[in-house]
Amino acid sequence: MSETWTLLKLLRWTTDYFAEKGVDNPRLDAELLLAYVLKLDRVGLYLNFDRPLIDEELDAIRPLVKRRGQREPLQYLIGKSEFWSLVFEVTPAVLIPRADTEILVEEALARAGGEGKLLDVGTGSGAIAVSLATELPGWQVTGLDISAAALAVAGGNAEKNGVAGRVRFLQGDLAELPRQQYDLIVSNPPYIAQAEWDSLMPEVRCFEPKQALLAGNDGLDCYQKLADQAPSCLKSGGWLLVEIGYQQAAAVQRIFAAAGLGELFVRDDYAGQPRVVGGCYKK
């Protein structure tokens, strides 16, 4: 007679398995993965703890549990991630949106008036561009990315979140920004130094797009490119706002100052780590 697996029994086993494999938050990941396969929310899991699982459900769950144990990100397994209280499709073509990046959105909103033009450089999933478009109905928002696959994901996310008519996406390299005059340029660019690569978590190092992560020997290449172009792309009084690595605040401020940006500031995230550097261009 085959073994009976109740939902609770499988949840406990999966949690222990994830913990053994070094997965952060193993219980939460187990809950989210099982809820996804069984088409339940987390409350629904708790209400069905005693329900036996049928073979078809177990067959669907097993390969996903194995892949998460191999440290493939949960968001890629379930195909979505939440950001700014919105749901975004994610695939291995794009970085997974992270809560820390919401600090960049907050700082952009603090400097946005009733209408204007905004450029999101390295838009990826479109999380920043789409989130800002939902909050700034009077703004024209453009997302730029070198990856056609990423732009396809971003376009789908704009449509799913009801802003497809107000966000356009362009393919291009951040070394050649569209020659328009923007009120705001925002970016979460690649900022990982080559020497840091081997120390990254397996979820990042082995699965997220390397092109969206690495930025030369010191991790500062993209900040230099953005700062060099800011004077020709920003209106007078416009802002360049970027997410940074936790040890890069001083270096990025120096780069911005050398490019002629003023009113420099650093904003910490809610864990107290430097997260955003900004500067204003005035002719």
Q: Residue 117: phi, psi to the nearest 5? A: -120, 135
Q: Which amino acid is at 135?
A: E
Determine the pLDDT at residue 2: 61
Distance, CA of 214 to CA of 143 (rounded, Å): 20
The number of beta carbons lying within 10 Å of the beta carbon of residue 37 is 17
Closest to 280 (Cα-Cα) out of 229, 235, 223: 235
Per-residue pLDDT reduced to its tens digit, 105-149: 999 999 998 899 999 999 999 999 999 999 999 999 999 999 999
Name the strands in the sheet holding 116-121, side by side, starting at the edge strand that comes first in the sequence: 167-171, 139-145, 116-121, 182-187, 234-243, 274-281, 262-268
Determine the pLDDT at residue 1: 41
CATH number of 83-281: 3.40.50.150
Q: Residue 253: phi, psi to the nearest 5? A: -60, -40
Determine the pLDDT at residue 250: 96
The number of beta carbons lying within 10 Å of the beta carbon of residue 199 is 8
pTM, two decimal places:
0.92
CB 187 within 8 A of CB 121: yes
Distance, CA of 203 to CA of 72 (rounded, Å): 6
Q: Is 35 helix (H, G, I), strand (E, B) or coil?
A: helix
* Percent of the chain's residues with pLDDT above 70: 99
b/e code 154-193 from CB counts within 10 Å (16+ = b): bbbbbebbebbebbebeeeebeebeeeebbbbbbbbbbbb
Structure token digits, residue 91: 């695939």
Kindly tell me if the per-residue pLDDT of 47 is higher than 80.
yes
CB 134 within 8 A of CB 141: no
Residues in the chain: 283
